[in-house]
A = this chain, B = another copy of it.
Amino acid sequence: MSPTLARFFPILQWGRAYDRKALSGDMLAAVIVTIMLIPQSLAYALLAGLPPEAGLYASIAPIILYAIFGTSRALAVGPVAVVSLMTAAAIGNIAEQGTMGYALAALTLAGLSGVILLVMGLLRLGFLANFLSHPVIAGFITASGILIATSQVKHILGISAGGDTLPEMVWSLAEHLTATNWITATIGITATAFLFWVRKSLKPLLRRAGLGPRAADMLTKAGPVLAVVVTTLAVWGLNLADQGVKIVGAVPTGLPPLTLPSFSSDLISLLLLPALLISLIGFVESVSVAQTLAAKKRQRIDPDQELIGLGAANIAAALTGGYPVTGGFARSVVNFDAGAETPAAGIFTAVGLAIAAIALTPLIFFLPTATLAATIIVAVLSLVDFSILKRSWSYSRADFTAVAATILLTLGLGVETGVSAGVLLSIALHLYTTSRPHIAEVGLVPGTQHFRNINRHDVLTEPSLLTIRIDESLYFANARFLEDFIADRVATGCPIRNVVLMCSAINEIDLSALESLESINHRLGTTGIKLHLSEVKGPVMDRLERSHFLQQLTGQVFLSQYDAVRALSPTVIPPAARTA
C-alpha cells in the first residue's frame, strides 16, 4: 500500500486491522448513537429552518464519507447546533423558510462549504484555523448558545416570531407573547424541565439505585427519546393537533434522495462568505473534539486530512438532500464512551439512521415541535459558559476584549458579524501589542553569565555600555519604535560609548527593520557610538549575512552577551572570571 494512498484514505489503514472485538464495540456504539441522533437530527433541521427529514439525510451519507476520509476514530459527523444556526442566518435573508429556494440554498451552502474544506485540505491550509483563537471561539459558542436557545422559545410557546439577533428575537417574542398556545406551552415547558432534570439529577439517582456508571450514563442519554415518545403519544392520544399544537407532520419515507446544489453564480457569491465562516467554525469545532478524543487513546489527528474528510462529508450532504455538517461534540463523546473503536461505528450509525428514514418516519407524524425545541434548548444551554470572561479578565486585557467583543457582537449583530469581528479584533490586538514591544536594559546577574532587566534584578552594569534587549521580532510595525527608543535613550545618557543590541528575543528582522537598524547604526556612528549585536540567532544571522548591514556595522557581533561585556566593559566581570 503506497503511503500517499494511505494518507488520503485512512480507511485502508484501520480497515485491514479490523477484527471481531472492534466490530462488537462499533456495533454497540452505533445503536446508542443512532437512538440519540434521531431526535437530534430532526431538531437541528428545525433550527436550520429546514424540514425534519433534512436532518436525517444530513446524518447518513456524510457520516459514511467521513469514515472513509477522516482520521479520527471516534468523531461523529452530522448536523450540529452552531452550524445549523449559521445556516439559518446565512439563508434567512435569501429565501423564505419552507420554500424550494430555501432548501436549494442549504444544499448549495453545504456544497460550497465542502469545496472550501476540500481545497483547504489539499493545499494544507489547516493552520488557518489557528487564527480563530480559543477565547474568540469560546465567546462565540457561548453567544451562539444563547441565540439558539432564544430562537427556540417560539416553538415552546407555539407562537411565530423571528429575528437574527438577540434584541430582534426578544422584541419579536414580546410582540407575539399574547398569542401563546397554552397546550403547546405546557408540553414545551414540561419537556424542557424533564430534560433538564434528566441531565442534572437522573444519573446520580440511577447510580444510587445500583446501576453501573456506564449504564446510568447511557440511560441518561436516552432521555430525549423518552420525551419524544411520551409527547408524541400524548398528542396522538388526546388529539392535541386539533387544538393548535404544531406537529412534525408527514415526513417522506425512504432513503435520502439524490440532489444537486445550485450553480447560479449570484447565489454562490451571496453564500461564499457564510460558507467560509461555516467551514472554519465547523472545522475548528470538529478538530478540537477529535483531538481531545484521540489524545485519550494516544492516537493522532492529521488536521489537513480532517479538512478533506469534512469536505467530502459536506459534498455528500449537498448531493443527498442535507445541509452543512461537521463533527459534533456531544454525539462524538457518546460514540467514544459507548466503545466505538473505528470509523466503522459511523457506517453502522448511518445504516441505523437509514432504517429510521425508511421505517420510522410515519411514527413521528404526531411529534410536537415543542419537544424538539426543548431538546435543542437543553443541549445548547450546556454550551453557554461565561467563565471565559472571568478567566480572560484576570489573565490578559487583550484576550478579554476579544472575548467580550465577540459575545456582544454575536448577540447584537448576528453570528457572521460576531465571529468575523472577533477574529479581526484578536489579530489587530496582537499586531498592536507587537508594534509597541517591551524593551529592557539589561545587566549581568552576579556570579553567572546571565543577563536580566536592570529594573527587576540586582545586576552589574557600566555607564559607558548600554545593553538593550528588545522583546519582540523586528518588523515593519515596530521598526521605528526601536529607532525612537534608542535615539531618546542615547540623548539622555552622556558617557555611552557602546550600544549592544541583545537579540535573544529577535526571531525575525524584515527589510523595514533592517533599514531601521542601518539608520540606528548610522546615527549612532555620527556621534561616535558603536553599535554591537549579541546572541543573534542562526536564521536571523543567515539573513543579515545576505545584506550589507554587517559590513556597515560600526561594532561587532558577539556569540553571547557575556562575550560582549568581556570585550567591551571587562571591569564588570569579577577578576577571577576575566581570563576564563
Q: Which residues of A contact B (CB under 8 A)?
A: 127, 130-136, 295, 300, 391-392, 394-396, 398-399, 426-427, 430-431, 433-438, 440, 445, 447-450, 452-453, 456, 471-473, 475-481, 487, 504-508, 510-512, 514-515, 523, 535, 537-539, 543, 546-547, 559-560, 562, 580
Contacts and interface: CB of A to CB of B under 8 A. Distances in A.
> A-B pairs with the 7 shortest C-beta distances?
A133-B476, A449-B449, A134-B512, A471-B507, A399-B511, A450-B560, A504-B504
Given A456-B538, A508-B433, A543-B396, A562 B450 contact: yes
Nearest to A478: B130
Contacts of A473: 434, 472
Given A448-B449, A479-B130, A505-B507, A395 B547 contact: yes
B511 A392 contact: yes
Nearest to A131: B477
Contacts of A433: 508
27 contacts: A127-B477, A130-B479, A130-B480, A130-B481, A131-B476, A133-B475, A133-B476, A134-B476, A134-B511, A134-B512, A295-B523, A394-B546, A394-B547, A399-B510, A427-B431, A430-B476, A430-B510, A440-B537, A448-B560, A448-B562, A449-B450, A450-B559, A450-B560, A453-B538, A471-B537, A472-B507, A505-B507
A448 B440 CA distance: 23
Contacts of A515: 134
B426 A127 contact: no
Given A427-B431, A453-B538, A543 B477 contact: no
Contacts of A427: 427, 431
Nearest to A137: B512
A423 B438 CA distance: 24
A261 B151 CA distance: 47
How many monomers of this protein are in the complex? Answer: 2
Contact of A504 (B134, B391, B505, B539): B505
A440 B437 CA distance: 23
Nearest to A502: B504
A580 B510 CA distance: 40
A362 to B, nearest CB: 47
A566 to B, nearest CB: 11
A477 B434 CA distance: 14
A135 B505 contact: no
Nearest to A455: B538
A435 B395 contact: no
A527 to B, nearest CB: 9
Contacts of A580: 447
Contacts of A523: 295
Nearest to A514: B395
A475 B300 CA distance: 23
A433 B539 CA distance: 13
A395 B130 CA distance: 28
A16 B20 CA distance: 96
A352 to B, nearest CB: 34
Contacts of A135: 511-512
Nearest to A469: B537
Contacts of A295: 523
B546 A510 contact: no
A395 B476 contact: no
A275 to B, nearest CB: 21
Contacts of A456: 538
Contacts of A436: 127
Contacts of A546: 394-395
Contacts of A508: 433-434
Nearest to A487: B300
Nearest to A522: B295
Nearest to A127: B435
Contacts of A392: 511
B543 A130 contact: no
